[in-house]
Copies of this chain bind each other. A is one copy, B any other.
């Protein structure tokens, strides 16, 4: 039997990571989130902070300029190399075991190769703002600004490497509003769908 994978894409502050962890715990399968970063670090030699940042987010400013800068003689940037390694780690995981994978375009990477349930978690801005302040504390920037910046960079990264629109309903088997439904109900639905 093929391994069964749940991929979770999520708006910043929507609780998608928590939903992923709790779903995996209920199903008794591993959840790869930070653990993915450790694996990619092992494979590539990149620092974990660099991977966390550049393996899921477009650069904060002049993303397009960056995308075409610092390329090797084959025209590949560090970020392209990271994309390829990340892709390989995700494919290997899906080959090895059933699991939950949070973020990092896993839905796209596994679309043809695994028995995959692709999930998108979202919530309205006010609920997400409240959540990030609770989770990550206050910052100089207002929470609304932090949300907008993070989501914009995630969407740009996703679009650049997949050529699909991040958060477009047709790319996910299930999309849930965690702000209205609550974390627990989302976990229950995903568990029942597995």
Contact = CB atoms under 8 A, between A and B. Distances in A.
Contact of A193 (B172, B181, B193): B181
Interface residues on chain A, size class: 20 to 34
- In the complex, the count of this chain's copies comes to 2
A77 B188 CA distance: 47
Contacts of A188: 192
Contacts of A124: 170
A180 B175 CA distance: 13
A157 interface: no
Contacts of A181: 173-174, 193
23 contacts: A120-B169, A120-B175, A122-B169, A167-B169, A168-B169, A169-B169, A169-B175, A172-B177, A173-B176, A173-B177, A173-B180, A173-B181, A174-B174, A174-B175, A174-B176, A174-B177, A174-B181, A175-B176, A188-B192, A189-B189, A189-B192, A189-B193, A192-B192
Interface of A: 120, 122, 124, 167-170, 172-177, 180-181, 185, 188-189, 192-193
